Structure 1
Amino acid sequence: MPSLLDQVRSLRAVLVDERIDPGAHDPAADAARVELIAALERLKSAACAAQADLTVGLDASVREQQSAADVPTRRRGRGVAAEVALARQESPHRGQVLLGLAKDLATDLPATRTALREGRLNEFRAMVVARETGCLDRDDRVVVDGEVCGDADFLHGLGTGELVAELRRRAYAADPTSVVRRHERAVSERTVSVRPAPEGMAYLTGLLPMPQAVACWANLSRSADTARAGGEGRGRGQVMADLMVERLTGQAEADAVPVVVDLVMSDGSLLGADPEPATVPGWGPVPAQVAREMVARASDALQAWVRRLYADPAGHLVAMTTRQRLATEGLATFLSVRDQGTCRTPWCDAPIRHADHVVAWADGGPTDADQLQGLCEACDYAKQAPGWRQRVADDDSGRHAVETTTPAGQRYRSRAPAPPRPAGVPRDNRLAQVDLMSPVERRVTAVLDSYRAA
């Protein structure tokens, strides 16, 4: 394996160091370009297959070590997906998906594994095969895998949509009952979620049975068409979106909805003197003008609060401390704002669910802002597996930093996102937390008063 590792590193060095001239307006080189693109794509697939094999070996090794350490059976393997995710610069959820795929390829999907190694299938399409055959027992799964992915001629030129349709047909033919059970399980997992979108927007998504989803869309569509036929000037999509908000919230107008927003912004952004964006934890940057509009609209008439935490001139949010094991509500809110609502584990985009001790409380870790970090549930549980260590680290950025050492000895560092800095404040001043409520005039006055008192 060390020899293979050296070879992989050498190949990477060649790809990084080799200056590939795009050779504009050189038709003579087009055939070579296309061949190289195809060869690199097959190389990527082969690399994914090798990563899957290594992942299975890592899982088996960790489970064996944990078994020798008398770790309970149900907890064996904890931390493997997180280790894989960090190594592949992916989220822990993605690491769990990749671990599951690796196990499937090693046991139930030999033809898919071969097709991946030979470059006839990429990793995404291999995941499609695993997903669409997951409801079958092992024997039926192996048969469907061989019929679809074992036939190179059949697989060649097959689009992803066609691949999904073919797998579903063959899965249903092999075991109709299992497919019906999968559908019933999917119906039981119906839900509604919200996630960030660019420009201060958000996606509100309902995962529904198809007839219900189509009925909801058709109702909004008909209502929007009726409104526009009556002279409504808004676009059809705008009317549908506003109608959805009004019907879900019971408000007469889409804008008149009670909200609570954690908005981290500098005084310059608030008062219009600075174009620096504000930040909504868990959502990302918001243009200064949009943030000011959010503040202005957060009036008593809208029954909305906008809570802001200000940074000191060095860019640090104000810390708090407690002797309790669990973080107080105020400290938990502070951590969520400092870490901007997103899990601190590198490459993890999941929302914060736990105020986690960097050094475990049982090992003497204090409950204060410096020794706490915001983590999602999966990352919090993963770091409790044997061999995981964390510590608060010094960082040149001055921001809160945590260094994680995995059981395999790899080290990763996470930094708290940089908060907006106040403008025009002497370096030796430190601002206290400011929690301001409507109306807007009171908020602005309070901000200025806090500056004078600092």
Structure 2
Amino acid sequence: MYEAMQQRHRPPVPPVHTECTAVLTALSTQLARTLECGSTADCAAAIEELTALTAGYDYLKAMLAHQLEKEVFRTNENNGTHANDLTRGAASTVALARKRDPRGHRSYLANARILAEDTPFLAQRFALGELTEPQAMAILTPLQDVNAARRTAFDTHFRATPDLFDGMGPKQISETVTQYTLQFESHTKSYRIKEAGTDRYLRFTKDRDCIRVNGKLPLAAGTALQQHLRQESRRLRQHGDPRTRTQLQADLFTAYPLAGHPDKLPLALNIKLVMTDKTLFLGDRTPAYLEGYGYIPAQHARELIAGAEIRNEDYFHHYPDAHDDLALRIETFPDIQRLYTAPGDSELIAMDSTARAFPPGLKEFIKIRDKHCRTPYCDGLVEEVDHVIQHHLGGPTNVLNADGRCALCNKAKESPNWVEVPVGEFSHSIRINPGTGAYYRSVAPPVTGYRHRQFPDLLTQSKWVRGKPWTREELEDPLEDPDP
């Protein structure tokens, strides 16, 4: 039986790599046994091993694509062809070899170039299978916006903090790296956002059985409308409306202009913008977080709050190609004395409750804190605020025992043998065992900046970080925390 299973599930052996036959044969034998009688833990472990193996081959494909691009460059240069685009044809050739759509492969080649030339530690992690191809590309694509020195600096930081992307999906990884790049291209990105806003449009296209709507809205207005439709559709579903969320959003989008509700117009759309006091008042380049969209440059966030274009942007209106390093030299900011200290008695963060449901203020805080679903590698939106240790098991309703989840993951954690516990008093960290014997850690992202910073004095002295501390007896958890 094992022989038949081996033959059925034997990995293909390319003719030019026949020396790998022995290794692949051993692998197929092991997989055949697992496929026939493997436990849940065996299957999960095998999937992890195969994922790492696949990632290693994806790294090699990226390196081969980079080598191919260099050969195309040399060929065109030697032949005197395509002088204005010496890599012409490389992206299409790689796309054919990968059996992919050629669109987007110029970006793929740019990422392969950065991987090979500017980010040696990232290349090592990718080669070892610790990052999948989507995760590696999510790191590399934002790095295209900064120069080689900035990329190498980020790679050096990654080397110092190798757990930087642990548990993150591609979208969260991209947001993290974007925070880094926005520090150096704030003005350029702000200019591009405003230029995109001037190209706003709505187009209605007649289809066979319907009208298709396609459009482009300014960042703030579009985000506010998106958030409004999401919240209203969720509220109506919770009150028993049988329509799907997407149907509700379509109906809400058209209801006001078609049916007319003068008592409810205009809509009060609002946005939530999270930024530091330094960014707001002192021209700091730490990006701001726009809920529903992601990270935006500090300059654009200040302009949203001011309601007008900030004067030092005029230079970039006339010279949009000016490098952001020039902005570092020509900008000046007023000397403002900051009067802000640690938040003190902030109800939002220190809130506890004996109720089963989370209070609205605490829910809002958790959504802003977590940004995405807290299940490792899930990029879903926070749809539900959840008890880490379930309420019926004695888990309290407070900030230390709360996390944001998408609806799918919130249901999945109710599976038998799935166990989650908070780790540490202040880190907003969770340890998860899905019942396979493997443990995963989820850490809430920093509110601002792309990495966590520790402030011991704040942690020990400020009331706003104090909540009910977890004890080992309360958790009834026999395992030691691997990362105290």
Q: Tell me which interval the TM-score lies in, with the shorter structure as reference length.
A: 0.3 to 0.5
TM-score (ref. length: structure 1): 0.42
TM-score (ref. length: structure 2): 0.40
